[in-house]
Amino acid sequence: MIQKERIKKLNKKDFQNKKYIVYWMQQSQRTEYNHALEYAISQSNKYEKPLVVYFGLTENFPDANLRHYDFMLEGLKEVNKSLTERNIKFVLNYISPEIGAINLSKKACLLIVDRGYLKIQREWRKNIAEKIKCPLVQIEGDVVVPIEIVSNKEEYAANTIRPRINAKSTQYLIPLKKEKYNHNFVENDLDSTDVEKIVLNKIDNSVKPVNNFKGGTSQAFKHLNVFLKDKIDKYV
């Protein structure tokens, strides 16, 4: 069950009786503990429509370079593998993310998106909300306590916002149920682009990838376990 405070409708469009439900994955690039993904699966099961998870890849993201993209693509490979194991279609396209989302929305009943706080992410969501014909629903999944619940103003110091977060944290520090996906889905006209070689040839190559840090949820858990085992006592 996704807490209602995490759910925000970004437009007032009506549900469309079309081919599938789309989760536009952009900020929350993972399948583990992803509120937007689990919400999308629940809606797919509720309306008996297959789910498409879409990711748009652009080489023009502000200040991004080869190291960022290499790390991200490693993580997206794990996303693809994990979704495939759950029989969920993953579409990775070399296209400006909001344009790809608009294109997919033409056959979508509902478009779900995770929340992003950067200016470009907010502009993407605002642009899409106005243009698509189906509902656009945003799910907050990258913070423990939704920010609107914590404060409705700009906080000027950590010691003013921290007590507000702590007062609300218990009700949000709960396990996220992993939904069972009830569909098999093959959509022939929704193929992923082989984007890796294209992107790596076009972006800023001045900052090279590193060997000691790799992308992906499995790597994140690996570093977390090392921290909990060997370093947490030294953390201040």
Tens place of pLDDT per residue across the chain (236 aa) = 799 999 999 999 999 999 999 999 999 999 999 999 999 999 999 999 999 999 999 888 888 888 999 899 999 999 999 999 999 999 999 899 999 999 999 999 999 999 999 999 999 999 999 999 999 999 999 999 999 999 988 888 999 999 999 999 999 999 999 999 988 765 656 777 777 777 777 788 888 888 888 999 999 999 899 899 888 887 76
In the numeric block, the tokens 């984007």 are attached to 195
Q: What is the pTM of this model?
A: 0.92
- The pLDDT of residue 202 is 77
Q: 4-234 adopts what CATH topology?
A: Rossmann fold (3.40.50)
The residue extents of the domains of the chain are 4-234
Query: Residue 186: what pLDDT?
Result: 58
Distance, in Å, from the CA atom of 84 to the CA atom of 90, rounded to the nearest integer, reads: 8
Query: How many Cβ atoms are within 10 Å of 88's Cβ, its own excluded?
Result: 23
- Give the CB-side neighbour count of residue 72, counting CA atoms within 13 A: 22
pLDDT at 47: 95
Q: Show Cβ contacts of residue 182 under 8 Å, excluding neighbours closer than 6 positions.
A: 44, 45, 48
